[in-house]
A and B are shown apart, each in its own frame.
Chain A
């Protein structure tokens, strides 16, 4: 993603007015503000969301959740809460890794392809850097992690029927998680960045 972003930015700003270090700056801000938290969030909604919904859905239709309830365990908090906590802890780490890899990929392929030099790219990365952008991106990630796991957990936990309904719950979990994630992304951007 970082590589494609760098190359596209470089070839779209072929102008004597705009300095080439803007490629590094655009890559940095795009990846930190949008691509890492949102795109990785959508990917996680697909992967983690479907996994949570299908796992809980299968547990529901095979009566494993009933078995937990019979033992006197609050099954919703026992099954869903650890997933929310895990996502809230792990997703920011994944996002940080994706930011580093995205920017590294942008530098690597941007310089290898001759779109930008290392000096210009690194200067762009450092130019007018606002640490708050990282805080904002990680804050967004926390919100997305909560949304993905709680929405998917809801659809999985309340599955009724059999294998067909488990698949249906899984699909709905991914669709609703993605939609809510995009809406939350807009709202957070509107509220926090403007």
Chain B
């Protein structure tokens, strides 16, 4: 479990995260939702210490991350996998090299074992024949899947996804969502997903945190979000015509 207690973060005097407290549970897909500029990405980058928080604590399974020095943070990051919005694949490396990279850096494996693990990870994300392609030669959806393969290569205990569906078509988005849910269940890890995609919320939102203007405004799950009284959440959920129609038809029934 990751426990976040009263964290605050500001940039140039502008408060981006304001006293946010939340627990991210093991074996569940924990979704952080909210509009653009609500602080989702900053929260995620604070969780993995890419940004230093101004105050508060972040506890990884009883270990207070905020008290760690740079080397200790690097050690705990070896238990973390992260999939960035654009995939963040290394341009100069092939798909297989990208997935092998963390293994070559940290796993005590010989080349044959690394190859076997790379094959396993790429098969796991349904990319069995993309080994020799470069990131510039694959689609956005494939990049996301390669990034997921790279993130799970070292069997992380904590997995973070920043807008995994941005720029993807609805069908590919569902493939990615299902992959996230399957991996979370399979490895029983803590998964945190930043998204503003309502389809993802309804597909995999086992725990949902709604952020608004840097504050936690609501917490629940995918069943509760459709019936909440929280106006901000309703504005967000029912912003699209599709969801307005779903609500209307369910009320008509």
Contact = CB atoms under 8 A, between A and B. Distances in A.
Interface residues of B, number: 22
B69 to A, nearest CB: 13
B105 interface: yes
B180 interface: no
Contacts, number: 44
Contacts of B89: 64
Interface stretch (B79-87, B198-206, B213-221): B79-87
Interface in A76-109: none
A63 B101 CA distance: 16
**Interface residue tally of chain A, by bracket?**
10 to 19
B78 interface: yes
A70 B77 contact: yes
B105 to A, nearest CB: 6
A64 B91 contact: yes
A64 B105 CA distance: 16
Interface string B34-55: 0000000000010010100000
B84 A63 contact: yes
* 6 closest residue pairs by CB, A with B: A72-B77, A67-B88, A63-B88, A72-B74, A63-B84, A72-B78
Interface of A: 58, 62-64, 66-67, 69-74
Interface of B: 45, 48, 50, 74-78, 80-82, 84-86, 88-91, 101-102, 105-106
25 contacts: A62-B86, A62-B88, A63-B84, A63-B85, A63-B88, A64-B88, A64-B90, A66-B45, A66-B88, A67-B84, A69-B50, A70-B48, A70-B50, A70-B80, A71-B78, A71-B101, A71-B102, A71-B105, A71-B106, A72-B75, A72-B76, A72-B77, A72-B78, A72-B106, A73-B105
